[in-house]
Amino acid sequence: MALSESQIPPDAQHYLVCGTEDCERNCKFYCNDCHQPMCEQCRDEHQKNKKTKNHEVVPYKQRKRPLPVEKCKIHPTRHIELLCEECQIPICSKCTGTKEHRGHAFTDLELVFAEKCSLCHIEITKIRSYFEPTSQDLKKEIAGDVTEIKKIMEGIRSSIKTEAEAVKRLVDTVTSDKIEQVDKIEQSLLQTLNRQNQEIDYYINYLNDLIKTYYGYLSPSNIEQLTFALKSENLVIRPIPETSKPVPPVFTAGQYRKEDVAKLQGRVTVPDTKPENRKIKPMETASTQIEPTGKQRKQDREKSDAKQTLSLSSSVTKVREYTVPGVNRVYHISLGQSGILWVSDMEGNLVQTDLHRNQLQKIQTSGKYEGYHTVTQDRDLIYTDDDNKVINRITPDNTITEFIKTGDWTPLSIHSSHINGDILVGMRKDVKGKVTRYNKTGTEIQRDNKEQELYSSLPHYITENMNGDVCVSDYHKQAVGVVDKSGQYRFSYTGQGSGFIPYGICTDVLGHILVCDDISETVHFLDQDGQFLSLLLTPQQGIECPISVCVNDDNNLLVGQRYTNIVTVYKYLQ
């Protein structure tokens, strides 16, 4: 069934044809008096015509809807065309003379209809540009929470099993001790019984010897000896040795219940905390244009607030240190959600750790001394594979898929934009280097147009500043190259005259650029336009060979070092 003009959604991609007879040109305008769509040429003729020159011709999107034809229920031969303002019901012109509406004020129903249609379209626009995208953002946030809860619960299950194994080992140890105690008691009782048995054996031998003696006395040739023996005390038989029955130990069963065993292990409790309502962006931020995601809007507001309150601290203070398991150096750091870190070394080890720096995941990659991984706005990790010239994606459920193919170019460095989710990739081919921009779906949308001039063959770290500038550390060029968001060259930074080989690079909420220098083993601190401000970190502050930098959500600086697996956190803004 075909839709009527009033049913076609305002943002539908349909082709409108001029309503003038025999004209098939594209419609751009609309006559509100004739209720006719028209092209630009027909509009000009319409406004030159004496009969229609005073008609209201407007752009098509601003048209007034024609009033639907409907018969009056009181006067079936008439069409309803007025609204009784007193009764708020549609009527025909003949109804105005009836006693029910005598003295009432009336409004042209076509004007009311046009106004109501306009309000409907406004509400539709609100739904499409605000309510529906915001709801979709909440769905994504909920899906992320589902993944996070599953991961947390799996961790709790693992902890319970680990603790249960520990309790089992403890029970085995106690059981072994008790059995050893029983063995000792048994040994002692058996020794006592063996001694008693030996004494009885000795006594029985004594009795047998005594019987032989008495038989000797009965011999007729020994009457004298028998007479003598009967007078002797030797005829007294020694009493039977005393023995005692052993008192065996008694086993008393332990008095325990399931609850007692449960007390030996930790408990799983749900904090008595009221769940925090998910934040919903205010209505006034909605527009008909493509909006950033809800998460991005939240980050933008937080960054805007921080920019108004933060400033450079008078000193740099070490906050804490983390030892990252599974790597032997820290060549690059990517920040995930809720304090999750991805850390890589130059052996291709890529490790995910939690807030307590427990290893959650470890994968083997072809990456070395580049910023070859980043976390996207969708919380996926993406990383370059220079062997296969592709970019891989790891989703929260740990599925690894091929995301982008880079053709003849070898991808080195990668960064996911916090502004719009675009993906920036530094690449090389032979002695050439370039930066290519992809959208969130992996479609190429921009490449710098002066690649050979700006980069050599090794743009090995890349980041984006708050104004959209793309900042690249180029190892071979020994410079930081910066282009604006359209890819036009802005400036280069080559250090402070004593040699400069840049490595890890990042920016902060105030637009500063922070870059590691392998020559001086320091972190250079630049403003948004590349002007040197200071050496933010030096060996005198206890840092050794800083090689990677990253600013977290608390506006603290995370620094990885070349020769250790330690990430050090510094506070430099206040």
Q: Higher confidence at residue 110 or residue 136?
A: 136
The pLDDT tens digits of the residues spanning 367-384 come to: 988 999 999 988 899 999
Greatest CA separation for the chain:
181
The pLDDT tens digits of the residues spanning 406-420 come to: 999 999 999 999 888
The pLDDT tens digits of the residues spanning 158-195 come to: 989 999 998 899 999 999 999 999 999 999 999 999 99
The pLDDT tens digits of the residues spanning 438-464 come to: 988 888 886 654 444 456 668 999 999
Asked whether the predicted pLDDT for residue 15 surpasses 60, the reply is no
**Domain covering 294-573 in this structure, CATH number:** 2.120.10.30
Region 8-35: mean pLDDT is 74
Q: Among 60-74, 94-108, 315-329, where is mean pLDDT lowest?
A: 60-74
When the candidates are 3.40.30, 3.30.160, 3.30.360, 3.30.70, the CATH number that belongs to 9-63 is 3.30.160
User: How many whole angstroms from its chain centre is CA 23?
Assistant: 57
Q: Write out the DSSP string of 193-208.
A: HHHHHHHHHHHHHHHH
The pLDDT tens digits of the residues spanning 255-290 come to: 878 888 888 888 888 888 888 888 887 765 433 333
The pLDDT tens digits of the residues spanning 296-308 come to: 444 544 554 555 5
Which of 289, 279, 358, 22 has its CA nearest to residue 130? Answer: 289
- Who's near 230: CB < 8 A, 6+ residues apart? 217
pLDDT at 232: 55
The pLDDT tens digits of the residues spanning 515-538 come to: 999 999 999 999 999 999 999 999
Side-chain-side CA neighbours of 553 within 13 Å: the count stands at 13
Which of 316, 362, 320, 318 has its CA nearest to residue 343? Answer: 362
Domain with CATH 3.30.160 in the chain: 9-63
Region 13-41: mean pLDDT is 82
Domain with CATH 2.120.10.30 in the chain: 294-573
Average model confidence (pLDDT) for the chain? 84
pLDDT at 527: 92
pLDDT at 305: 53
